[in-house]
Amino acid sequence: MSQQEIIYLDNNATTRVDDRVLEEMLPYFTDLYANSTSSHIAGLTINEAVEKVAWQTANLINAEPDEITFTSGATEAINLAVKGLAYQERKHIVTVVTEHKAVLENCHFMKSIGFDVTYLPTASDGLLDLELLEKTITDKTLVFIMMFSNNETGVIQNINAISALLKSKNVLFLCDATQAVGKISVDVKKYGIDLLTLSAHKFHGPKGVGALYLSAKAKTKLIPQIIGGGQQRKLRSGTLNVPGIVGLGKACEIAVNQLEENQNRVKLLRDKLEIGLLQFEGSFVNGDIQNRIYNTSNICFPSVNSEQLIMALGNISVSNGASCSAVTSEPSHVLKAMGLSDEQALSSIRFSLSKYTTSDEIDYVVDRVLELCVKLRS
């Protein structure tokens, strides 16, 4: 392994497009370029391809094809899901302080137009206190918003228990499953999820395409945010990004067939990485080590500045926060909410692996990180 070869361990930010996905997309840039809403034969052919992707996407999360609305990604899906609920009688939203900025900023907006928003804390392991959630819900609560798997720590919440509580209170459940879909089994029916967001580029699909799942109950409450031609059952107007949508569908198809294989192999590599890196004196894993997704490890290296470490690593791609601010002088709001000091948060690195990560790469990363941590600490 040379210092010229890129080793990419920032897969929670984005992933390499699978070759099979790219191959599936290419004809839709050239020969199959008609508008999917056109009524001629060429357009109808493209519409059939889009309908196939709705089925592929629904199949990945155990939904129905007509419950899928394609978007430009998870951020747009979150905007549609949150702002689309603006005209409901209930005016109380509950979320968690460790959510992605796409959720938090939308909640700030909803507060500016008259909603009450409650931001719940987590314990030091990143898990939510269900008793606190139950006490927070009132007869004015419209929706609870929470990640399936945290983008920085990988912590997975008790989705079953949370959804059961929300159902008993007649509160909608909006789940940001961007870091979970395509990596682990996500079943909207089993988990009682009303609205779910996903993004193709998090599981080896293209950037610029994602989807919003809407249960029958949620669909009746949502108003569109992009209006115009009335595409997608009037929920999201605009000419569809057909190549991207086709890529999403192929990524979903591949993920369904590889979930268990990827989980078993990548988890072994993640564990190997942690065993090696935790040799550094005083280092520790941020977040619950049992309830987390298999590809993510967030490690604090005390007295080592994460920005300096990231720059020194050169050909090794890692991050010290969310993908939208991978190198920042501000401590992670997620780690701070979990009780870390500024110094600890600014000494933490997120390593996120993928199905393309190799054992040789892990060996190289462990040696290089340990070497640099010793230098930077001294």
Q: Provide the annotated active-site residues.
A: 324
Note the helical H segments in 152-204.
Answer: 159-168, 188-191
Instruction: Name the one residue in this structure whose structure tokens are 């057909």.
Output: 242
Cα 296 to the center of its chain, rounded Å: 12
195-199 sheet: strands from edge to edge: 68-71, 210-214, 195-199, 172-176, 141-147, 92-96, 116-120
Q: Could you give the maximum distance between any two Cα atoms of the chain, in Å?
A: 70
Helix (H) or strand (E) holding 317: strand 316-317
What is the end-to-end Cα distance of the chain in Å, rounded? Answer: 26
Closest Cα to residue 181, out of 251, 241, 80, 279?
251
Note the helical H segments in the chain.
Answer: 19-25, 41-61, 74-83, 101-112, 130-136, 159-168, 188-191, 216-219, 242-277, 306-313, 333-337, 342-345, 359-377
Residue 289's CB is within 10 A of a number of other CB atoms, namely 15
| Residue at 275: amino acid letter | I
Instruction: Name the one residue in this structure whose structure tokens are 């990419």.
Output: 8
